[in-house]
């Protein structure tokens, strides 16, 4: 058995100025940039996450700008296998996460547990 849930939305920005992009999204979504969050580093800016809500992270990327979501899990290989049975494919195997592609073409990531409260509201899978 393993567990998973949606972790957050990632806003991929093909930009030289990640701070300007993060500022736009912080204002647009009404969530300030959280400079003390461990997810705010290098090419990443984390917006403040109200309790019980999913996270929003802005990241500088080399590919086209887009938005994707992350699924967090306590067992990445088991979650990847479950999603493959549903028709998803592995796009890229990274060191600490897996980029997958839904049958309809959208990319998403399977990551380790990121947010508090996982044990309270993650879905259990056999």
Q: Do 2 and 79 contact (CB within 8 A), yes or no?
A: yes
pLDDT, tens digit, 9 for 90 and up, residues 39-81: 999 999 999 999 889 999 999 999 999 999 999 999 999 999 9
Confidence of residue 126 (pLDDT cuts 50, 70, 90): confident
Report the predicted TM-score, pTM, of the whole model to 2 decimal places. 0.87
When the pLDDT of each residue in the chain is averaged and rounded to a whole number, the result is 95
Quick check: helix, strand or coil at residue 34? coil
> CATH topology for 2-125?
2,3-Dihydroxybiphenyl 1,2-Dioxygenase; domain 1 (3.10.180)
Q: Which residue has the tokens 């899990």?
A: 73
């Amino acid at each position: 058995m393993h567990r998973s849930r949606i972790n957050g939305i990632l806003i991929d920005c093909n930009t030289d100025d990640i701070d300007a992009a993060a500022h736009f999204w912080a204002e647009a979504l009404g969530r300030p940039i959280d400079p003390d969050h461990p997810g705010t580093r290098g090419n990443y800016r984390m917006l403040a996450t109200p309790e019980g809500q999913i996270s929003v992270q802005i990241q500088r990327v080399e590919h086209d700008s887009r938005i994707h979501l992350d699924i967090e899990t306590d067992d990445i290989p088991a979650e990847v296998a479950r999603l493959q049975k549903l028709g998803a494919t592995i796009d890229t195997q990274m060191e600490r996460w897996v980029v997958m592609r839904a049958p309809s073409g959208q990319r998403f990531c399977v990551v380790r547990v990121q947010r508090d409260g996982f044990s309270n509201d993650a879905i259990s899978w056999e």
